[in-house]
Amino acid sequence: MSVTISAKEAKANFNKLLDEVATGKRVTIVKSGKPVAHIVPAKNSMRKPGSARGKIVIMPDFDDPLPEELIDFFEN
């Protein structure tokens, strides 16, 4: 569902527009009769625990001490 509103009305009713967008509506803001912006619901980008299971491999030596020459490289 979509709602079209003038820039002047959008400015006066911004909080109401956000409430409408939160319900899934798309709002088109027009200026001089031409669309200039859309307000759309944000995508939920929350990560899901375990979604990378099986895609990442941690090597058995991951937390072994670094070689001395690598430590020297960073420290000198």
Residue 2 and residue 30 in contact, taking contact as beta carbons nearer than 8 Å: no
Residue 4 and residue 26 in contact, taking contact as beta carbons nearer than 8 Å: no
Residue 39 and residue 15 in contact, taking contact as beta carbons nearer than 8 Å: no
pLDDT value of position 46: 76
Pairwise CA distance, residues 41 & 22, whole Å: 6
From the options 3.40.1620.10, 1.10.10.60, 3.30.1360.120, 3.40.50.970, give the CATH code of 2-42+52-75: 3.40.1620.10
pLDDT value of position 45: 67
Task: Give the position of tokens 């058995």.
Answer: 60
Instruction: List pLDDT tens digits, range 3-53.
Output: 899 999 999 999 999 999 999 899 999 999 999 999 999 887 677 888 889
The secondary element (H helix, E strand) that includes residue 46 is none
pLDDT value of position 51: 87
